[in-house]
């Protein structure tokens, strides 16, 4: 059951839907009655990507395709990886990324669609001992697009992996990350921001499997939904038997700014080891009316006050990004959406 | 008349709290509002600043002849109405400097003035924070988050000093202050006294009025002003309590 298989086989029966527990809030089966024709190849100008100026290696997959990024041991790279969709066809893309020991990668990934395309991107990211990755995902999809991105990440001892997924949603969108965490003093940060308006939907799903001792995971996702938008957060952390001294913390907090907007959240900790420190927190609520009045009493018009407070709310996540340049891009992108 | 409140009636959740309040504060004067708990002191401050949930059912409130009640809270602020909150809000994620600069520029924009430049703003912030004995680094932290009660009150006065309002409402500014903080805060308020400014000092206790000396003292009880007098009225209240006025209301 996956969108990629359904696209390959042109068979809507293979789409995941609400009967699949993991997809119950992101029903593709019920949404897509007929899969669009395969996307034609596109040779026109697609303009600059959001992170082009920051990267020393630029990769672009337009209407599908495959790419391989291989960093030898001890090397360093900042790669802009663009998944571009033009038109309203269907296609899948695949990227494999490997890092040798102590290699360092900044992966600046973007999703850019311009219509009602149906797309799947699959990434495999494998780190060797002591390697470090910061993956920043900016999903700026079209409101008619159906977009699924699934990343499978495998860490190694002493590896460091940080991720921030930032999205404005799509007609239906799933941004999924699955991490195999071997412990061994590897550290993992999985953060997310969703800013949804109109009838947009976005689903951030993460699964972390702590397989052995001494692993750390921190996770913070924040969302702001307005109009009739719908945000979904599913976070699961599994700590295997014997994976002692695992330290895992998960937080998800959302602001709902209109009566018809919706947030569905499912944080799960499955712990089979004895000696662990695990915690999760989840809140969904409205903007603090008292704080809003306070800001207005100081002279800020209501819209400005709301923007300031919501920017501050998600700013906590953006501040956690490591790469200054990308942080500035993301902050500006978010501010524009919150003020718009 | 700078602030002119006539026969003001206001309700919260359908319950009438202000029941025909009349009050006039000329420019250049400091008036104190004293009264027992539940008299409507905080309601008055929120009605004058336009907080949601406070419904005016009758009467009027004008500032220099302009109808305050028809304006949004931010429009009232841009015309110079400032409320020092009894319980200042914590604003996570927004450094105090950012908050105050955003507020100041919003007010300037509303008045058709140019925005303050970054160097001008920082200079102003340094000067005013030094006057109020506030560590400048504190202004880089999220506004009021983790601040003590006294620090929050000092932050209110700092904002007041930087926004330079024309009409000041101080709601229980002395609560939670020790004697040193009270002196610093009072000095900050007194520095803003001027012939162009009016001030309304709302307090339960007379203590604050030893530091911020009022021109007039009004007793608010049962949603109305039931007595007015000179500074000596505050001392009388301190001696004899509010009981007599509660009966009058």
- How far does the CA of residue B237 sit from the closest CA of chain A (Å)? 31
What pLDDT, on a 0 to 100 scale, did the predictor assign at position B248? 59
Residues of B in contact with A299 (CB under 8 A): 74, 77-78, 103-104, 106-107, 110, 163
Would you call A298 an interface residue with chain B, using a CB distance cutoff of 8 Å? Answer: yes
Residues of B in contact with A298 (CB under 8 A): 77, 99-100, 103, 106, 159, 163
Q: Is the pLDDT of residue B249 over 80?
A: no
Distance CA A299, CA B102 (A): 8
Q: What is the CATH number of the domain that holds B17?
A: 3.40.50.300
The pair of three-digit structure tokens given for residue A46, joined into one six-digit string: 């697609």
Give me the number of domains chain B comprises: 1
What pLDDT, on a 0 to 100 scale, did the predictor assign at position A340? 66
Residues of A in contact with B78 (CB under 8 A): 299
Q: Supply the ipTM of this predicted assembly.
A: 0.96
In a domain, B35, yes or no: yes
CA distances (Å), origin A298, targets A334, B42, B48, B125, B203: 24, 17, 14, 16, 21
Strands (E), chain A: 57-62, 65-71, 76-85, 90-99, 104-113, 118-127, 132-140, 146-154, 160-167, 172-181, 187-196, 201-210, 216-225, 230-239, 246-256, 262-271, 276-285
Q: Which domain holds residue B79?
A: 3-94+165-248
In a domain, B7, yes or no: yes
What pLDDT, on a 0 to 100 scale, did the predictor assign at position B128? 94
Would you call A272 an interface residue with chain B, using a CB distance cutoff of 8 Å? Answer: no
User: CA-CA-CA-CA torsion for A84, A85, A86, A89, nearest 10 degrees?
Assistant: 160
Domain boundaries, chain A: 1-35, 41-286
**One pLDDT digit (tens) per residue for chain A, 340 residues:** 799 999 999 999 999 998 999 999 999 999 999 999 999 999 899 999 999 999 999 999 999 999 999 999 999 999 999 999 999 999 999 999 999 999 999 999 999 999 999 999 999 999 999 999 999 999 999 999 999 999 999 999 999 999 999 999 999 999 999 999 999 999 999 999 999 999 999 999 999 999 999 999 999 999 999 999 999 999 999 999 999 999 999 999 999 999 999 999 999 999 999 999 999 999 999 999 999 999 999 999 999 999 999 999 999 999 999 999 999 999 999 999 987 6
CA angle A248, A254, A257 (to 5 degrees): 175
């Amino acid at each position: 059951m996956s969108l990629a298989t359904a696209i390959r086989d042109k068979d809507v029966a293979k789409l995941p839907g609400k009967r699949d527990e993991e997809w119950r809030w992101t029903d593709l089966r019920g949404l897509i009655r007929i899969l669009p024709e395969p996307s034609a190849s596109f040779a026109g100008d697609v303009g600059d990507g959001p992170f082009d100026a920051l990267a020393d290696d630029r990769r672009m997959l337009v209407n599908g395709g495959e790419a391989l990024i291989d960093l030898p041991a001890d090397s360093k790279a900042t790669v802009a990886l663009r998944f571009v969709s033009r038109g309203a066809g269907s296609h899948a893309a695949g990227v494999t990324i490997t890092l040798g020991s102590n290699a360092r990668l900044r992966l600046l990934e973007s999703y850019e669609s311009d219509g009602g395309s149906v797309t799947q991107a699959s990434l495999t990211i494998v780190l060797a001992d002591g390697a470090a990755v910061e993956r920043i995902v900016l999903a700026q999809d079209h409101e008619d697009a159906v977009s699924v991105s699934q990343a499978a990440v495998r860490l190694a001892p002493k590896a460091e992996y940080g991720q921030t997924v930032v999205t404005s949603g799509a007609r239906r969108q799933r941004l999924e990350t699955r991490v195999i965490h071997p412990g061994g003093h590897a550290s993992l940060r999985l953060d997310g921001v969703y800013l949804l308006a109109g009838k947009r939907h976005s689903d951030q799903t993460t699964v972390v499997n702590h397989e052995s001792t001494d692993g750390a995971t921190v996770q913070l996702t924040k969302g702001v939904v307005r109009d009739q938008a719908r945000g979904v957060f599913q976070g699961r952390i599994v700590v295997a038997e014997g994976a002692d001294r695992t330290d895992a913390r998960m937080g998800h907090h959302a602001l709902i700014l209109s009566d018809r907007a919706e947030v569905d959240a499912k944080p799960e900790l499955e712990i089979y080891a004895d000696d662990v420190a695990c915690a999760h927190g989840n809140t969904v609520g409205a903007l603090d009316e008292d704080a809003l009045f306070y800001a207005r009493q100081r002279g800020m018009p209501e819209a400005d006050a709301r923007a300031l407070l919501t920017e501050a709310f998600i700013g906590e996540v953006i501040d956690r990004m490591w790469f200054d340049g990308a942080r500035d891009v993301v902050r500006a992108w978010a501010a524009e959406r919150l003020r718009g | 008349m700078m602030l002119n409140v006539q026969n003001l009636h206001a309700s919260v959740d359908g319950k009438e709290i202000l029941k025909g309040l009349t009050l006039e504060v000329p420019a250049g004067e400091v008036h104190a509002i004293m009264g027992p708990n539940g008299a409507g002191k905080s309601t008055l401050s929120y009605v004058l600043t336009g907080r949601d949930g406070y419904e005016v059912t009758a009467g009027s409130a004008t500032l220099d002849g302009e109808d305050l009640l028809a304006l949004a809270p931010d429009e009232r602020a841009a015309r110079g109405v400032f409320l020092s909150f009894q319980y200042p809000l914590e604003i996570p994620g927004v450094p105090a400097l950012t908050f105050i600069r955003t507020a100041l520029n919003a007010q300037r924009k509303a008045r058709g003035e140019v925005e303050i430049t970054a160097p001008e703003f920082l200079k102003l912030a340094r000067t005013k924070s030094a006057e109020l004995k506030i560590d400048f680094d504190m202004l880089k932290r999220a506004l009021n988050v983790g601040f003590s009660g006294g620090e929050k009150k000092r932050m209110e006065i700092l904002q007041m000093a930087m926004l330079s309002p024309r009409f000041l409402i101080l709601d229980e500014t002395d609560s939670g202050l020790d004697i040193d903080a009270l002196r610093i805060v009072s000095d900050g308020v007194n520095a803003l006294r001027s012939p162009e400014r009016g001030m309304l000092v709302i307090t339960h206790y007379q203590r604050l009025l030893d530091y911020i000396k009022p021109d007039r003292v009004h007793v608010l009880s049962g949603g109305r002003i039931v007595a007015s007098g000179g500074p000596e009225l505050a001392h009388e209240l301190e001696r004899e309590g509010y009981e007599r006025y509660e009966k009058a209301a």
